[in-house]
Amino acid sequence: MNFLRGVMGGPSAGPQPSGADTIQKLCDRVASSTLLDDRRDAVRALKSLSKKYRLEVGIQAMEHLIHVLQTDRSDSEIIGYALDTLYNVISNDLEEEEQDDSEEENLPKQVDDLGSQFTEIFIKQQENVTLLLTLVEEFDFHVRWPGVKLLTSLLKQQGPQVQQIILVSPMGVSRLMDLLADSREVIRNDGVLLLQQLTKSNAAIQKIVAFENAFERLLDIITEEGNSDGGIVVEDCLLLLQNLLKNNNSNQNFFKEGSYIQRMKPWFEVEDDNCGWSAQKVTNLHLMLQLVRVLVSPTNPPGATSSCQKAMFHCGLLQQLCTILMATGVPADILTETINTVSEVIRGCQMNQDYFASVNAPSNPPRPAIVVLLMSMVNERQPFVLRCAVLYCFQCFLYKNQKGQGEIVSTLLPSTIDATGNSVSAGQLLCGGLFSTDSLSNWCAAVALAHALQENATLKEQLLRVQLATSIGNPPVSLLQQCTNILSQGDKIDRRGSKVQTRVGLLMLLCTWLSNCSIAVTHFLHNPANIPFLTGQIAENLGEEEQLVQGLCALLLGISIYYNDNSLENYRKEKLKQLIEKRIGRENFIEKLGFISKHELYSRAAQKPQPSFSSPDHMMFDHEFTKLVKELEGVISKAIYKSSEEDKKEEEVKKTLEQHDNIVTHYKKVIREQDQELEELKQRINTLTSQNEQLQATVTQQVSQIQQHKDQYNLLKVQLGKDTQHHNSHSDTFQMNGIQTEEASKLKEELEEWKNKHELLQGQLREKDSLIEKLKSSQLEMGTTEQSSQTSKSAGLEHNNELQKELEVLRSQIQLQSAEISKLQIENQKLQVKNTTADPVLGGSGATAANSSELEGRLEQEIKELKSELKALSEEKESLKQHLDSSTSTVAILQDEKSKLQQEVAESKKEQDDLLVLLADQDQKLSALKIKLKDLGVPVEDEDDIESGDQGDEDEDGDEEEQD
């Protein structure tokens, strides 16, 4: 244990072993010891030596330490020592290292090499990183914290390789995201640093981290820590958010769709006081502003930028930024970054630009924020970065904002200038800066004015009307003339700063002004001194600084040729080309024109819209002007080499194109007008349809009301008819209710039913009469044929007489009912006639209100009487039905008896016929016997004799009886 005593500081009797020997013995102990305590002590000793003997421990112990991580995971203490040792070996943190003075030379380079080499050795086996990810999942503080630090160090040394290993590892990124939810702030904060390194320049990992709810957790941490007043943890969270959002359109869209922009507003709620700003607060707020700029950067897709800009306006974030912009006591660097942030939030967004135009500074009297910012831009005492920021803000305000451009130019026009001079306008500030003795103010004002004319031919023409008073007693000159005068004077004016800068600014303004505006070119050429000045500048051989001016002069002369409409005879295109050929030479002119795009400052300005310059001397080109140069350089070169015939052809083509364009614009205008008319017609149709629906609704209401009035009118007519029938003295009318009309209609229906039933009964009676007549005739025939059936026939006749009497009674009843029905019909007709005659009387129904109750009572009484009559009629109807049933039954009985009598008559006839046949037979036999007896000689008496003898005997017998 002597080597352990040496390591731990105990006394040793022999000579001290070297560090390499001690480390070798400790490594052997770690590899060969069977007891866990011995291995733990050896690893602890390696940890203590790892800072001083980093190289030796890394070379000899790394393999053994990795083996410990694989085999001794059950003991958190030895795992923690092993992770700490590996961290000391791999990390390049020099704060805790103890070095001798002799070792301090070339140390950083050696340290970087060591860390990178040891990292490469460690990650050569990907299982080591996977093992480390597994250990980071452990909740034990002594394992998790050193594991997080080691993984962070690996990412610092070999970021892309470690990122790829973690990316392909199952749930690798998700395991690390759990660190943000750890309740121990040390682990959570180091987890943020780990994710910073993990998300650097890796879009795939950035997306995974974002969709693992990183935004929500990071914003919660920032809020818990106090937003901008928080400590370095807030700074780390903001840096991680920048990593996730910068140049990652998917995450930016997810951040916007998740409504996280709204949660950024409380960050900028800064109190307007002079309590002081801590360095950490300035850093935090600076990062917060940069995070806003990441979301609305001009390099983002236009659609994504526009949606974020709108979201920032609707949630009040832009308003909060403008509050900081106008607040007092804000540090200069925060104010500068706020101006840049507001610039990009409003750039190209009309809604935000309009709001910014309405912002006023808290001054007395209030001034527009744009005016206050322009005052700072043309003030040479303000910091250079602040002036650049204001210029960028002004450019963004005018970007794709024709309304804003018109407002700025209108402040320069004679009709809108404030005559009192109490307030300073934006146009006056720009003119003041344009003609001041400070070259930087000249350049900024020229560029700002050029942006007010960008892609707006109308404003270019209007700006030609601007007149400037140069000095007392001299006539005013145009703004264009004044610019060319200052340009031609050049070095004669004593200026602060670069003289080239002023000329470059004025030339950029003139080039922007004259491009695509023939009227401005004509005004420029109208001054006879301008073309000689340009050709003289281009033809001279000047130094490198002046070459840029020569290139811009060549560009301006080329614009004067290309956009020349040949309205001035002395400065036609062909004459200007000949002038170039004689005094400059075409090749020389093209060479000078190429000086612009070959300049280093031109390349820098073309990279991004924001003007960022290391010093005022480098402030030469504007981003939008570089686009103009790129567009015109080629066409000017072609125009210089074209012949007059080609120019004529080109002019003809241009004219035809212009005519075509005019026709197209005319048709577009017509189509636009037709579209407007269609829209107006559609609106009129919509209004008419709505009015029609309303009118239909009112018509239906009126129809229903008319129907109600008709019903009331009909009821009044009915009531008036009844009232005049029963009470001739009264001619008043009144309103009937719905129940009475229903009862009247029921009465009419019942009358019709009675009529129908009466007709049916009459038909049935006719049928019965016909049957009875038939029976009578048959009975009479039967009476003539047989005398023996006289008794039965008399009984049938008696029965028939009774039936006839009943039928007569029925007939009388039916006649009474028919008389009653006819009476009711006559009354109904009388009522109708009286109703027709009572129509004029209805007009004066207003005077009948007093008698309405009396008439209603009478009407109810009459209805009751009608009901009673109906009841009596129904009872009579029932009795008639009963009589009819009885009569039908008697008729049926009579028919049965008739059939029986007919049978009896037929039988008697048959018997009589039989008897006659028998008698005829007997007569024949008797006659035959008499003939035989006569033939035999027997005396036979004749029938006549017999009959006479019989009669004599009968007489004798009668006499004897009389005698007796």
What type of residue sits at position 341? T
Mean pLDDT rounded to a whole number for the chain: 81
Predicted local confidence at residue 494, as pLDDT: 61
Which whole number is the average pLDDT over 195-214?
Answer: 93
- Tell whether the model's pLDDT for residue 630 goes beyond 90: yes
Per DSSP, the residues of 84-101 read: HHHHHHH----TT----G
| DSSP H or E segment with residue 185 | helix 185-198
Distance from chain centroid for Cα 209: 30
Tokens found for residue 708: 């109600």
**What whole-number distance in Å separates Cα of residue 111 and Cα of residue 156?**
13
Per DSSP, the residues of 374-433 read: HHHHT-TTS-HHHHHHHHHHHHHHHTT-HHHHHHHHHTTSGGGS-SS--S--HHHHHHHH
Please indicate whether residue 703 or residue 721 has the higher confidence score (pLDDT).
703
For the stretch 457-503, pLDDT in tens is 999 999 999 988 776 667 888 999 999 988 887 666 666 767 788 99
- Tell whether the model's pLDDT for residue 839 goes beyond 50: no
- Tell whether the model's pLDDT for residue 890 goes beyond 50: yes
Per DSSP, the residues of 215-240 read: HHHHHHHHHHTTGGG--HHHHHHHHH
CA distance to 30, 410, 873, per residue, from 750 (Å): 124, 94, 10
Instruction: Using the CB atoms, write b or e for 903-925: b if 16+ within 10 Å.
Output: eebeeeeeeeeeeeeeeeeeeee
Q: Secondary structure of 781-849 in the HEC alphabet?
A: HHHHHCCCCHHHHHHHHHHHHHHHHHHHHHHHHHHHHHHHHHHHHHHHHHHHHHHHHCCHHHHHHHHHH
Tokens found for residue 605: 């300005």
Tokens found for residue 554: 């060549």
Please indicate whether residue 752 or residue 656 has the higher confidence score (pLDDT).
656
- Tell whether the model's pLDDT for residue 881 goes beyond 60: yes
Please indicate whether residue 212 or residue 761 has the higher confidence score (pLDDT).
212
Which whole number is the average pLDDT over 504-525?
Answer: 94
On whether the CB atoms of residues 89 and 54 are closer than 8 A, the answer is yes
Q: Secondary structure of 253-300 in the HEC alphabet?
A: HHHHHCCCCHHHHHHHCCCCCCCCCCHHHHHHHHHHHHHHHHHCCCCC
| DSSP H or E segment with residue 360 | strand 360-361
541: left (phi over 0), alpha (psi -120 to 50) or beta: beta
Which whole number is the average pLDDT over 268-287?
Answer: 81
Least confident among 562-566, 659-663, 783-787: 783-787
State the pLDDT confidence band at 845, using cuts at 50, 70 and 90: very low
Q: Parallel, antiparallel, or unpaired: how do β-strands 360-361 and 367-368 relate?
A: antiparallel
Q: Crossing angle of helices 54-71/76-90, nearest 10°?
A: 150
228 class by beta-carbon count within 10 Å (0-12 exposed, 13-18 middle, 19+ buried): buried
Least confident among 301-305, 451-455, 914-918: 914-918
Those residues with Cβ within 8 angstroms of residue 657's Cβ, 6 or more apart along the chain or in another chain:
none
Which whole number is the average pLDDT over 216-245?
Answer: 93
Please indicate whether residue 916 or residue 596 has the higher confidence score (pLDDT).
596
Q: Of all residues in the chain, what percent carry a pLDDT higher than 70?
A: 77
Going 656 to 661 to 667 to 669, the CA torsion angle's sign is negative
Those residues with Cβ within 8 angstroms of residue 259's Cβ, 6 or more apart along the chain or in another chain:
none
Which whole number is the average pLDDT over 124-148?
Answer: 92
Place of tokens 């250079």: 384
Predicted local confidence at residue 787, as pLDDT: 46
- Tell whether the model's pLDDT for residue 840 goes beyond 90: no
Predicted local confidence at residue 329, as pLDDT: 84
Which whole number is the average pLDDT over 518-544?
Answer: 88
State the pLDDT confidence band at 804, using cuts at 50, 70 and 90: low
Tokens found for residue 901: 């009598």
Which whole number is the average pLDDT over 354-379?
Answer: 90
Please indicate whether residue 488 or residue 787 has the higher confidence score (pLDDT).
488
**What whole-number distance in Å separates Cα of residue 144 and Cα of residue 137?**
7
863 class by beta-carbon count within 10 Å (0-12 exposed, 13-18 middle, 19+ buried): middle
Q: Of all residues in the chain, what percent carry a pLDDT higher than 90?
A: 37
- Tell whether the model's pLDDT for residue 426 goes beyond 80: yes
State the pLDDT confidence band at 347, using cuts at 50, 70 and 90: very high
**What whole-number distance in Å separates Cα of residue 132 and Cα of residue 153?**
12
For the stretch 676-715, pLDDT in tens is 888 888 888 988 888 888 888 888 888 888 888 878 878 8
**What whole-number distance in Å separates Cα of residue 842 and Cα of residue 858?**
19
Predicted local confidence at residue 219, as pLDDT: 95
Predicted local confidence at residue 901, as pLDDT: 79
Q: Crossing angle of helices 107-123/126-136, nearest 10°?
A: 90
Compute the CA torsion angle 507, 513, 515, 520 (nearest 10 deg). -110
Instruction: Specify the 3-state DSSP secondary structure of 468.
Output: strand
Task: Pick from 16-30, 592-606, 794-808, 830-844 the range whose average pLDDT is largest.
Answer: 592-606
Which whole number is the average pLDDT over 32-53?
Answer: 89
Which whole number is the average pLDDT over 605-609?
Answer: 90
Q: What DSSP character marks residue 889?
A: H
- Tell whether the model's pLDDT for residue 642 goes beyond 70: yes
Tokens found for residue 896: 């049965």
Q: What DSSP character marks residue 350?
A: H
- Tell whether the model's pLDDT for residue 743 goes beyond 60: no
**What whole-number distance in Å separates Cα of residue 414 and Cα of residue 466?**
7
Instruction: Using the CB atoms, write b or e for 189-222: b if 16+ within 10 Å.
Output: bbbbbbbbbbbeebeebbbbbbebebbebbbebb
- Tell whether the model's pLDDT for residue 572 goes beyond 50: yes
Instruction: Report the greatest alpha carbon distance in the chain.
Output: 215
Predicted local confidence at residue 662, as pLDDT: 80
Tokens found for residue 183: 């309740």
Place of tokens 């034990």: 140
418 class by beta-carbon count within 10 Å (0-12 exposed, 13-18 middle, 19+ buried): exposed
State the pLDDT confidence band at 768, using cuts at 50, 70 and 90: low
On whether the CB atoms of residues 640 and 577 are closer than 8 A, the answer is yes
- Tell whether the model's pLDDT for residue 847 goes beyond 50: no
Per DSSP, the residues of 103-116 read: G-TTHHHHHHHHHH
**What whole-number distance in Å separates Cα of residue 457 and Cα of residue 13?**
97
Distance from chain centroid for Cα 243: 32
Predicted local confidence at residue 838, as pLDDT: 43
Task: Pick from 38-52, 846-860, 920-934 the range whose average pLDDT is largest.
Answer: 38-52
State the pLDDT confidence band at 109, using cuts at 50, 70 and 90: low
On whether the CB atoms of residues 509 and 450 are closer than 8 A, the answer is yes
